[in-house]
Amino acid sequence: MNNHKDNIIENIRLNKFIALHTGVSRRAADEIIREGRITLNGKKIHHLATAVADKDIVLLDEKRIGAVDKNFIYLMINKPKAFLTSRKSEKGFRTVMDLIDKPEIAKFVFPVGRLDFMSEGLLLMTNDGDFAYKVTHPKFNVIKSYIVEVKGDVTPEIFSKIKKGVYLNDIGLLKPYSVKVVKKNLNKYILLIDLKNGKNREIRKILEFLNLEIILLRRIKIGGLPIGDLRSGEFKIIKKNIAELVFKKEIKIDDKEQEKKESVTGVKNKLYSKNFKDSDKYQSKDKDKSKNSRSNIFTGKKRGEDIILKNNLHTKYKDSNGKVIVSLSKKPIKKINKSVR
């Protein structure tokens, strides 16, 4: 019974139903209702608070919308910057509809969710309202992944604030599903940020609150569907089974599992990003930096003397032949002078 409910849209407001199946805004849908252009199960509707169930028959200008037997269309678009994610612009801006050079398709589809004006990357378009509903509603847990290039110093403290989220008075808590530092280049950082709820301009609001300047914000994946080699400004028609890759679940490794993996390699302090060149700077801070800290490296210049690197959980050193030896003992191995008189 629950599986059946997951496959349909039940008891949603009429304006949202119209928006999902036509691509118009909810404000425009309200105007359509006020103008008496909607018929619900044979009756003209003017009440904005009307609810629609899956079994209901809804007509817009005497044509049915949301019909189950409809031929659905699914598009992937690589949205460039400076394009509105909308079917039309009241202020004359270019919209994503301008990227679709096939009028016979463009007149039917609408954007799935939002991607703000100065952001770029993967955007889905369809005429399948049920599909759009499940992609955008938080209860279906569809993760959206973004590459974000920022200007500024992402210190461990700043990184921790991004990860924990920020609280804005007019919005509430804005918290990403996950965040990683991918690369650092001078004072620029590249972050990989995943969102689950996808509130309006969520990433921008978090980073701007922390005084980080966004240079690039690109969506690279929706659920299990990556943007692939689709070029900026291009679109392609995809089959339903490809579109439904967005519902493919990915397993998130929690912090405890990450610590277990790191303990095998003898690294006690958790890294924020294992792919980050300067990841040592992003380790959790110890209460004090003792002689056993990882940053304390002893090098012997005398011939035959071992080179010792101490760590809280392991000791790595080179013997006289230059071979690297790693001991998992908690007690550091003492320097050994193998000089032969």
Give residues with Cβ within 8 angstroms of 341, minimum separation 6.
Answer: none
- For the chain, what is the mean pLDDT? 77
pLDDT band at 11 (very low <50, low <70, confident <90, very high): confident
DSSP 87-118: S--TT---BGGGG---HHHHTT-EESS---TT
Rounded Cα distance between 73 and 237, Å, is: 7
Of 5-19, 105-119, 174-188, 234-248, minimum mean pLDDT range: 5-19
Q: What is the mean pLDDT of residues 119-131?
A: 94
Give residues with Cβ within 8 angstroms of 122, minimum separation 6.
Answer: 76, 77, 78, 79, 219, 220, 221, 222, 225, 226, 227, 230
Compute CA distances 277 → 182, 183, 189, 271, whole Å. 9, 7, 11, 11
Characterize 257-278 residue by residue with b for buried, 16 or more Cβ atoms within 10 angstroms of its Cβ, and e for exposed. eeeeebeeebbebebbbeebee
pLDDT in tens, 239-295: 999 999 999 876 555 555 544 544 443 333 333 333 334 434 443 443 343 333 333
pLDDT band at 147 (very low <50, low <70, confident <90, very high): very high
pLDDT band at 90 (very low <50, low <70, confident <90, very high): confident
Q: What is the mean pLDDT of residues 177-190?
A: 92
Q: What is the mean pLDDT of residues 167-173?
A: 89
Q: Which fold has domain 74-247?
A: Pseudouridine synthase (3.30.2350)
Residue ranges covered by each domain of the chain: 2-65, 74-247, 290-341
CB count, 10 Å around CB of 15? 23
The sign of the torsion formed by the CA atoms of 251, 160, 219, 141 equals positive
pLDDT band at 157 (very low <50, low <70, confident <90, very high): very high
pLDDT in tens, 38-59: 998 888 998 888 988 877 888 8
Rounded Cα distance between 139 and 122, Å, is: 21
Give residues with Cβ within 8 angstroms of 140, minimum separation 6.
Answer: 6, 134, 247
pLDDT in tens, 24-36: 788 888 999 999 9
**Global confidence as pTM:** 0.61
| Right CATH for 2-65 from 2.60.40.1180, 3.10.290.10, 3.40.50.2000, 2.60.40.1120 | 3.10.290.10
Same fold for the pair 2-65 and 74-247: no
Instruction: Identify the bridge partners of residue 174 per DSSP, sorted by sequence position.
Output: 166
Q: What is the mean pLDDT of residues 143-148?
A: 96
Rounded Cα distance between 337 and 341, Å, is: 11
